[in-house]
Amino acid sequence: MYAEVIIPLALPKNYTWSIPPHMAEAAKPGVRVEVVLGRNKKYAGIIKKILTQKPESFEPKPILGVLDQQPIVHSEQLRFWEWMAGYYLCTEGEVMQAAVPANLKLSSESILVWNEDRSTDFSDLNDQEYIVAEALEIKKELRLNEVQQLLDASHVYPVIKKLIEKEVCYVWEELKEKYREKKETYILLHPQYHNEDQLADLLNNWSRAPKQMELLLAFLHLQKTAGEVIQSELLKKSGASAAQLKGLIDKKVLLAEKRNRDRIQRPPLQVELGFTLSPAQEKAFLDIQSALSGKPVCLLHGVTASGKTEIYTRLIEAQLESGKQVLYMLPEIALTAQMIRRLQQHFGGHIAIYHSRFNANERVEIWNKVNSGDIKIVLGARSALLLPFQNLGLIIADEEHDASYKQQDPAPRYHARDAAVYYASLFGAKVLLGSATPSIESYFNAQQGKYGLVTLTERYGNAGLPAIELIDMRAFGSRGKTALSPPLLTSIADSLSKEKQVILFQNRRGYAPYLICNTCGWIPQCKNCDVTLTYHKIKNKLTCHYCGTSYPVIQTCAACGSHDFTRKNFGTEQIEELLTEAFPNARIARMDYDSVRGKHDHDALIKQFEEQRLDILVGTQMVVKGLDFAHVNLVGIIDADGILGFTDFRVNEKAYQLMEQVSGRAGRKDEEGRVLIQVSNPAHPVLGFVKQHNYPALYQFETANRQQFHYPPYTRLIQLTCKHREKHIAEEAANLLIQGLKKDFGTALSGPAQPVVDRIRNQYLWEILIKLDKSVGKAQQCKRQIQQQTLIIQSNKRYRAVTIVADVDPL
């Protein structure tokens, strides 16, 4: 018996290990096994399939141990991983690395083992080597951290390397289980006092130790209100000491008991909708059910604030009644905080959140509960798609147009919306895509009849769509000098006077996107990337938003020696500062990557705004995506030119989606909202579509252009990027790649060319774009050629260090 095992490495193909006879029963697909690859490097892999045929070309090593009694993934996940690796041009090991929580992959720890054949003559060793060798002779084994303590140094690899070369020791790898169940001490009433009369007698005749009496009363109160009493919570709420608690335990009044406790507490299980759909929502709900009975995917195109979430809730309820699991995907972690509160009101503990902000142990617990079927509904960002569902009935991809569904780095570079369609097919499940501004590709599939299409054209409660006004910034001085125009400031003041809230959108974080020398025009750039540095006033640093490197603020021009610098353009920090100056009594907050980094920061800020403890919220794309605030009547878009000016064939689509989505935050309840867009080119055609809230017109405009220039949805794209520290070597590799692909795909190739930012983290970039027609098998043929050509190029010593990144369906 042999096993094909996936290990979390980017191996070209899965390796095969032999199964020792005594492990034959325990070894089955989906369980983790301990294996050795190379000389002695250990990994925790997952069995993909059991084989009876021995590999012809090599002698397989034996599996060292089976780590699980039950599979941690099911056959559907293993098939999904295989499909992802093939479609997105990566390896199954990379998919496993992305999917499985870190604490289930285990870690290999190096142990130095004394060589018993070595003489105790240490005369050939230097001082540091002698110290380690002497300790090894006594202890026989040393862990890496023990060597570091002995030498009082963190960098000990040169010493270890010398000791191995001199045959003082050898290295052994040991796998460490990192996940630990959380233990808590629970406090219980001693069984003899379960009788109410005996408990009353105890309390009435208590004569000494008044502090213990107070602690006992606090315990009884907590037991009545919370049900179970945890020692740490009891001591905190009662203000008592551990010694006083021990006194009650010694007197056999209370008992202490160690138990496992979930790290993420869930409310009681319940299903309680508590709302009625409007006639328009009811029609949409029935139309979706009808569409999904005939097609695997349906697109719900509903305007902002049309009540799509209530429709999703009804669909989830139907799946729960049939015993199925549901995945509800959102593009941003920020959205899950507000949505979980709404859905827990209806589904209680049936629902759980999953995303990358959870710590490693929390992710393991959710993984195991989804795997066992204990959790029925998962709300999460794109990584939730990789959970081991066992009985999936429905996937909802809300805000399906959002680019955050696409993973960029590292591999697998998958699009969660598109991958969800295949994943659902493995279960016979259905997929519902929802958006007020669908992606061109999804709407095209619906128009072609591949997906069902349901439209919802009116807002819930008959609220009107917000009125959109353009502010021509040319009337207020040269571009870039004025962040907040007088009409916008007047409108903000008017909203505040009515005790309404305001959202301002600026898609640049930091204080100023760049500094420029007024004498010679020199602009500070990152040393590792060919990009300007953003000034962050709060940190008083210049920061590269590509590699994250920070620099002190430059006072002297490197080119001419001048000290005269100007801060150009406006980031969210500067907008917040200008608002504070203009409205000193207003409560203002900022929502961007810099201000909401913690696990609960998003939720805390959203709660403050929901509860009207803030008046103005300034933010980047985080404020655009699906958040629901009842008291916002004004939305301002600070710099529409910046959104419309990107060099990207999707620029019009993305600009429309951003502006329409951010405008959708206004006037969601009873009062009509207003949207003010500051722009220097008010004649841009996209602004006309936004003013009219006319998505079909944008779709017609975009598809006509894309068909003419052979872009999606009429073609498939694959982007290849060659990276190397030497510019000319990256260029040479890109040209070789073009030459290798030219024979079969010559007309489909564009490039190689340098991107706008052509150096990131000291790696020069050269890009190739492949536009493939949608004929059957064409994409698969091209992917095979790409893999072959990559191997050929990297087999040449000159290009071995070149990284070739394939991005299928790039955004």
The 10s digit of each residue's pLDDT in 241-297 is 888 888 888 888 898 888 887 777 776 677 777 788 889 999 999 999 999 999 999
Q: What is the C-alpha separation between 75 and 30, in angstroms, rounded?
A: 7
Under a CB-based contact definition with an 8 Å cutoff, are residues 790 and 719 in contact? no
Is 76 strand, coil or helix? Answer: helix
Backbone dihedral region of 140: left (phi > 0), alpha (psi from -120 to 50 degrees) or beta? left
Q: What is the C-alpha separation between 547 and 527, in angstroms, rounded?
A: 10
Q: What is the C-alpha separation between 645 and 637, in angstroms, rounded?
A: 15
Look up the pTM and report it: 0.84
**What was the pLDDT predicted at 6?**
96
In terms of Cα–Cα distance, which of 152, 160, 148 is closest to 113?
Answer: 160
The arithmetic mean of pLDDT across residues 314-319, rounded, is: 94
- Determine which of 60-64, 131-135, 270-274 has the lowest per-residue pLDDT on average: 270-274
The arithmetic mean of pLDDT across residues 544-560, rounded, is: 89
DSSP state of 638: S
**What was the pLDDT predicted at 268?**
67
Amino acid at the residue 255: L
In terms of Cβ atoms closer than 10 Å to its own Cβ (0-12, 13-18, 19+), residue 803 is middle
**What was the pLDDT predicted at 478?**
53
Residue 238 has pLDDT above 80, yes or no: yes
Under a CB-based contact definition with an 8 Å cutoff, are residues 589 and 610 in contact? no
In terms of Cα–Cα distance, which of 456, 404, 407, 453 is closest to 432?
Answer: 453
Q: Which position has the token pair 């091209």?
A: 782
What is the per-residue burial (b if ≥16 Cβ within 10 Å, else e) of 594-614?
bbbeeeeebbebbeebbeeeb
The arithmetic mean of pLDDT across residues 125-147, rounded, is: 89
Q: What is the C-alpha separation between 634 and 190, in angstroms, rounded?
A: 60
Q: How confident is the model at residue 632 (pLDDT cuts 50, 70, 90)?
A: confident
Q: How confident is the model at residue 465 (pLDDT cuts 50, 70, 90)?
A: confident
Q: Which two tokens stand for residue 741?
A: 């692909």
Q: What is the C-alpha separation between 776 and 784, in angstroms, rounded?
A: 14
**What was the pLDDT predicted at 644?**
87
DSSP state of 23: G
Amino acid at the residue 48: K
Residue 356 has pLDDT above 80, yes or no: no
Residue 450 has pLDDT above 60, yes or no: yes
The arithmetic mean of pLDDT across residues 190-207, rounded, is: 84
Q: What is the C-alpha separation between 15 and 2, in angstroms, rounded?
A: 10
**What was the pLDDT predicted at 626?**
58
Q: How confident is the model at residue 423 (pLDDT cuts 50, 70, 90)?
A: very high
DSSP state of 246: H
Q: pLDDT > 90: what percent of the chain?
A: 43
- Determine which of 433-437, 487-491, 669-673 has the lowest per-residue pLDDT on average: 669-673
Which sign does the torsion angle of CA 63, 64, 70, 76 carry? negative
Q: What is the per-residue pLDDT across 709-740, written as a single tens digit (0 to 9) for each?
A: 999 999 999 999 999 999 999 999 999 999 99
What is the per-residue burial (b if ≥16 Cβ within 10 Å, else e) of 632-646?
bbbbbbbbbebbbee
Residue 776 has pLDDT above 90, yes or no: no
- Determine which of 445-449, 557-561, 686-690 has the lowest per-residue pLDDT on average: 557-561
Secondary structure of 432-490 as H, E, C letters:
EEEECCCCHHHHHHHHCCCCEEEEECCCHHHCCCCEEEEEEHHHHCCCCCCCCCHHHHH
Residue 669 has pLDDT above 70, yes or no: no
In terms of Cα–Cα distance, which of 526, 542, 585, 426 is closest to 763?
Answer: 526
Q: What is the C-alpha separation between 125 and 54, in angstroms, rounded?
A: 46
For residue 721, report the phi and psi dihedrals to the nearest 5 degrees: -125, 125
Secondary structure of 294-355 as H, E, C letters:
HCCEEEEEECCCCCHHHHHHHHHHHHHHCCCEEEEECCCHHHHHHHHHHHHHHHECCEEEEC
**What was the pLDDT predicted at 599?**
65
Q: What is the per-residue pLDDT across 73-118, written as a single tens digit (0 to 9) for each?
A: 999 999 999 999 999 999 999 999 999 998 888 767 778 888 888 8
**What was the pLDDT predicted at 481?**
61
